Amino acid sequence: MRPTYIVLLSAFLQLTFGFSLTTGYLKYFRRKAIDIIDQAGPNDDCARQLKAWIGELFGPKSTWAMKMLDASAKLQTGLYSFNIFHFGDFDGCLNIKEEKIGMGIIEGKYCTAAVLPAQNSSSDLAQILNFVTIVPEMTGSQKGKDMQHILKILKVIYGLCLPKACSALSIQKLWNHLEASFKMPLRVAVDEDFCTFTGKVPFVFQWDTIVIWGFVVYAVFVLAATVCDLSQLTPRVPGWIQLLRPFSLYRNARKILLPGKKASWGCLDGLKVFSMCWVIFGHVYTIEILTGTTNMVSYFQWRNSLSSLLVLMAPFAVDTFLVISGLLLAYKCLEVRQALGGFPFLQFYLGRFFRLWPTLLATILLYTHILKYLGDGPIWPLIAHKTALTCRYSGWATAMFVTNFVKFQHQCIEPSWYLAVDCQLYCLAPALLLLFYKSPKSACLSLIGLWAWSAGHAYNTTVRYKENWTPAEGDDSFHLRIYQSTLVRLPPWVLGLVTGALIYHKPPAISSLVARWLWGCTSFLLVGVIVAHHALMLYPYNEYHSALFNATARSAWGLAICLLILLCLSGHGGVVNWVLSLELLRPLVRISYSVFLLHSAVIAVLHGQKRTPGHQTTFNSLQDFIADLPFILLASFVWCLLFEAPFIGLAKLLVGVGIVGRRTTLEKTPVGTLKLA
């Protein structure tokens, strides 16, 4: 081995891993390193500060130089456990500040770098970092579908503490010079967007200041409206006060928090709340992995465990929401058609979008212009970069409810794909519902045809493109063609429509014997979907098995939820109906839309600022979910007070909306009309 290579290796071990060779080599390195810096680029402020750092580090060893070395990441144990997040000391780096004569003030600058195997390198270290080949060999992950699309994007994350005068480009040029000169087996990628120093503002957009001041002005307006409302609590008030009342925090808080009349459809409240919590739990687990874990490789064993079902089955909560959406839509629209003798198409569409848009647009602005200012940390620039840029360039798709046609990694507000699917089905609903009103049998035949089309499409698409069955391991193709597809998601919504129409047309009484049989069918369907999902995880991938699951699982789950709702509404729900109908859940239902839009942002802020990677287990994620939930609910309550409740009230005041809409709870419907037995 050449002496220069030994010297360079010594420097690399000392600077990055904290491992020292001999004093002689380090003295030689001091001179050699300064020569390399001179060769790699011009003698600018960065070069001078780097040479000063190296000179004091291996000379007198001043405190600031040692702190800068200490703040850079060191190689951690557990590389074979996929401990790929090496953060170093983020806060310690940013606190470095040293004044040097002739150089001014040297400050610390933290950069999150990606370490990759060098191209065409056959060294052992490069092979270890080639996750596409080494992970399947280590874990036997061939049981599942080929996950190269996931492994290709995984990189070792490394924290570097450098002088503030050094740009990412300067550091990149220096490393490229080292790699080319000494044939290093590693390639380091550094980007200025992922570097942080004290006082740096991330990703400044032209409209940031205007948007922030817009939020401030709107908050002042809401406070003023609240004061005006509290000063005019008498029934007769001037017209302009009537327009301000929908924005009153006091009035909206009472509407959200007070239980109100006893709900006849209380089981739907529980289904919504528990499904929303299930979705949040799944997202907590996912974000914990993405923001740093010491045992990422354990996923390949965890996916085969029973505890993994708590996370991997969470996407079926979406199908529960679609069932409820279709059920409420069918019942209320048929009821309105009967009461009015016609169908209010204008109110049907205007009411829907007037309720959804204000909160959605406010959330898009939050993601684009504000969220990036709410955190810091080694991994935070990556999160801020993802949220701000995706919403800047694809926020329009979210606002127009077509985000399910955008690649998942480019979506603004990732859960909003469900909102797009639901709104697209909502636009389709009037034609089907009018057919239900005129000819229920013809409508049922049409819906059976839609179901068959959806199932056939899911089966053929999965076989043709060899798609996955679970979003946990699906690529962009799977999300676009299967997971986010409106056509594939159609069956649960159709089953909800049929159930709503069945309830409206007063089905016959359900006897105790029939109820027991229906409970057996419900349990069989739910357990069957769970067992099928787990079996697909345990055995090698087969496109025909995946296709059968994609074609039938959502229908089976949706049918089970419909039967559960019928049992609860007919008085045969027992303890299940009692739990689902708890009045404690009703305020949570009223803020569920805000929870849906905001929970990912809150989770990102809470977990995106971690300074060290955690150890990932289902139980640890459950603990974090319980800890995160109060913050999510509090933020969503405030969001609902500011953006959702005011515009719902304003819609009712201005255009008489309240007949149909996303948050219809059917509370005004007489209890007697809902009894099935």
The residue among 187 and 413 whose pLDDT is bigger is 413
Residue 459 lies in a domain: yes
Residue with the larger pLDDT of the pair 585 and 134: 585
Structure confidence at residue 147 (pLDDT): 59
- What residues make up the domain containing 390? 214-674
Residues 114 and 259 reside in one and the same domain: no
Q: Is residue 202 part of a domain?
A: no
Same domain, 544 and 629: yes
Same domain, 404 and 466: yes
Question: Strand locations in 118-198, DSSP E?
Answer: 156-163, 186-189, 195-196
Does any domain span residue 172?
Answer: yes
Kindly report which listed range (40-44, 538-542, 587-591, 667-671) carries the lowest average pLDDT score: 667-671
- Looking at the structure of the chain, the number of domains it has is 2
Per-residue pLDDT at 120: 63
pLDDT band at 353 (very low <50, low <70, confident <90, very high): confident
Phi, psi of 106 (to 5 degrees): -95, 120
Q: Both tokens of residue 593?
A: 């839309």
Whether 666 shows a pLDDT value over 50: the answer reads no
- Phi first, then psi, for residue 676 (nearest 5°) are -95, -10
Q: pLDDT grade, residue 238 (50/70/90)?
A: low
Q: How far apart are CA 674 and CA 267, in angstroms?
A: 12
Q: Which helix (H) or strand (E) holds 117?
A: strand 104-117
With vertex at residue 215, the alpha carbon angle to CA 636 and CA 257, rounded to the nearest 5 degrees, is 30
Same domain, 361 and 488: yes
Per-residue pLDDT at 141: 53
Tell me what pLDDT residue 273 has.
Answer: 96
CA distance readout (Å), 661 to 540, 595, 608, 671: 45, 18, 35, 20
627 and 544 co-located in one domain:
yes
pLDDT digits (tens, 9 = 90+) for 269-324: 999 999 999 999 999 999 998 888 888 888 888 888 999 999 999 999 999 999 99
Assess whether 499 and 573 both reside in one domain.
Answer: yes
Give residue 160's pLDDT band: very low, low, confident or very high (50, 70, 90): very high
640 plus 600 within the same structural domain = yes
Quick one: pLDDT band at residue 5, thresholds 50, 70, 90?
very low
User: At which residue do the structure tokens 């859960």 appear?
Assistant: 415
Residue with tokens 């001037």, as numbered in its chain: 238
Both 292 and 150 in one domain: the answer is: no
Query: What confidence tier does 411 reach under pLDDT thresholds 50, 70, 90?
Result: very high
Identify the band that residue 122 occupies on the pLDDT scale cut at 50, 70 and 90.
low
Predicted confidence (pLDDT) at residue 19 exceeds the cutoff of 70: no
Q: Evaluate if residue 128 carries a pLDDT over 80.
A: no
| Token pair for 224 | 């003023």
Q: Distance from CA of residue 580 to its chain's centroid?
A: 26
Spatial separation of the C-alpha atoms in residues 302 and 616, rounded to whole Å: 10
- pLDDT at residue 518 in the model: 95
Confidence of residue 662 (pLDDT cuts 50, 70, 90): very low
To the nearest 10 degrees (0 to 180), the angle between helices 490-504 and 416-438 is 40
Q: Considering the domain boundaries, does residue 458 fall inside one?
A: yes
Rounded to whole angstroms, how far apart are CA atoms 178 and 448? Answer: 66
Both 221 and 309 in one domain: the answer is yes
Residues in the chain: 677
Tens of pLDDT, residue by residue over 213-226, are 999 999 999 999 99
Q: Alpha helices, DSSP H only, in 400-439?
A: 416-438
Last residue of a domain, one of 143, 163, 196: 196
One domain for residues 391 and 257: yes
SS3 161: strand
At residue 398 the predicted structure's pLDDT band, cuts being 50, 70 and 90, is very high
Place of tokens 């909306």: 657
Taking 3-state DSSP, the helix, strand and coil percentages for the chain, each rounded to the nearest 5, stand at 70, 5, 25
Judge whether 204 lies within some domain: no
Residue 676 pLDDT greater than 50, yes or no: no
Residues 287, 171 within the same domain? no
Most confident of 122-126, 344-348, 611-615: 611-615
Amino acid (one-letter) located at 57 = L
Report the pLDDT value the prediction gives residue 153, as an integer from 0 to 100.
64
Which residues are 110's β-sheet partners? 161, 196
What confidence category does residue 665 fall into, taking pLDDT thresholds of 50, 70 and 90?
Answer: very low
How much is the pLDDT for 6? 46
Whole-number percent of the chain with pLDDT over 90: 53
Identify whether 205 is part of a domain.
Answer: no
Query: H/E element holding 113?
Result: strand 104-117
Which of 647, 181, 639 shows the shortest CA–CA distance to 365? 639
CA dist list (Å): 479 to 149, 276, 390, 407, 430: 13, 20, 17, 8, 28
Do the domain assignments include residue 420?
A: yes
Same domain, 464 and 330: yes
Nearest to 485 by CA among 455, 463, 528: 455
Q: Which of 251, 218, 256, 217 is nearest to 232 (CA)?
A: 251
Phi and psi for 160 in degrees, rounded to 5? Answer: -115, 135
147 C-beta neighbours (distance < 10 Å), count: 21
Residue 70 lies in a domain: yes
| 485-531 residue pLDDT tens | 999 999 999 999 999 988 888 766 788 999 999 999 999 999 999 99
pLDDT value at position 125?
52
Query: Is residue 395 predicted with pLDDT exceeding 60?
Result: yes
Write down the pLDDT at residue 655. 61
Structure confidence by residue, pLDDT tens digits, 431-471:
888 887 778 788 888 888 999 999 999 999 999 999 999 98
Q: Which residue has the tokens 């009692």?
A: 578
In this structure, are strands 104-117 and 186-189 parallel, antiparallel, or unpaired? antiparallel
Q: Which residue has the higher pLDDT, 19 or 589?
A: 589
